[in-house]
Amino acid sequence: MEKRKIGSLDVTVVGLGCNNFGSRLDQKATTKVVHAALEAGINFFDTADIYGGTKSEVFLGKALGKRRRDVVIATKFGMPIDDSHFGAKPDYVRSACEDSLRRLDTDHIDLYQLHYPDATVPIGDTLGALQGLIAEGKVREIGCSNLNANQLREAKTAAGTRSAFVSVQNQYSLLAREPERDGVLAACHELELGFLPFYPLANGLLTGKFRPGQPPPEGTRLATMPSDRSAHWLSDELQQRVTTLLDYAEEIAVPLLTLAYSWLLSHRELSSVIAGASTPEQIRANAAAVIALDDSVIEKLDELTA
């Protein structure tokens, strides 16, 4: 499988988002998905301390076992775990890292990411703590998530000559093209950051299994999502756009899943597409979904989803 760079890290263009681990999947099911990913040639696993109520990191570490040295692990800190574990103050950054190292059963984190900006802490203070973790060998590279273009530039300036963010993880898909309009993709090019899209399959709408006007398939995330959250994804606007994409996929005889993955990866700023999976079959389908799209197909997808 093709690999791209995130700083000094070489990651496969298909990664595995681990937010199902510890919530929808128990340890046994997690291990099956992780092993299927490894067999498919995937080396990049993205988790966070809050996923699965902190169980995702534990389940991932156990599933990898001795294969830990063969993979790139990304995790995140900053979102509230409880009333006292959250934020980006230096002391918390260090303690959160120690907790993640313990849960993952590893001596280092390959990509350690600020999950959400903390307006109460100067970004330079957070970066100082992260740079200290790199110096101690506990972290190899640092990244961020949910930062806008101005915040990315501010962080680059604050880092000075020391280690800076090498990646940013924001929402991006055929149904959510904000990074093109808000300047984040341009900032990635300018600052040499790798872009990691979350919700790359729009919570299942772009897998090809969802059919507008019908209930979400049983067992999917959309089917179990609280109504206040699913309302956005099941809105008439998004369903109409999915219908348009499904019609085009049928017209050119290319699965919508393949179009969703390959359109994202046609943007060179992207390092890896880290969709989640709840079964080995899903991760194998994701791994096989990347092809080189003709320019005419990319242009048509741009037009259909603009």
pLDDT digits (tens, 9 = 90+) for 80-102: 999 999 999 999 999 999 999 99
* 51 noted as active-site residue: yes
Residue with the two structure tokens 């048509």: 300
Residue with the two structure tokens 């790199």: 134
Residue 212, pLDDT score: 82
Average pLDDT for the chain? 96
Domain assignment present for residue 165? The answer is yes
Integer angstrom CA distances of residue 78 from 19, 65, 84, 92, 246: 16, 26, 11, 9, 37
Number of domains in the chain: 1
Please state, in angstroms and rounded to a whole number, the distance separating the CA atoms of residues 83 and 218: 34
Instruction: Tell me the CATH number at 135.
Output: 3.20.20.100
pLDDT band at 219 (very low <50, low <70, confident <90, very high): low
Exactly one of 51, 92, 112, 172 is catalytic; name it: 51
Domain assignment present for residue 59? The answer is yes
Domain assignment present for residue 149? The answer is yes
Residue 70, pLDDT score: 97
Higher pLDDT among residues 215 and 93, named by residue: 93
| Residues 139/167, Cβ–Cβ less than 8 Å | no
Residue 44, pLDDT score: 98
Residue-wise pLDDT for 51-79, tens only, equals 999 999 999 999 999 999 999 999 999 99
Residue-wise pLDDT for 122-141, tens only, equals 999 999 999 999 999 999 99
Residue-wise pLDDT for 147-190, tens only, equals 999 999 999 999 999 999 999 999 999 999 999 999 999 999 99
Residues β-bridged to residue 14: 273
Domain assignment present for residue 250? The answer is no
- For residue 32 the two structure tokens come to 């099956």
**Structural domain of 30:** 3-205+261-290
Stretch 285-303: mean pLDDT: 97
- For residue 255 the two structure tokens come to 């699965």
Domain assignment present for residue 306? The answer is no
Question: Would you call 101 exposed, middle or buried from its count of C-beta atoms within 10 A (0-12, 13-18, 19+)?
Answer: buried
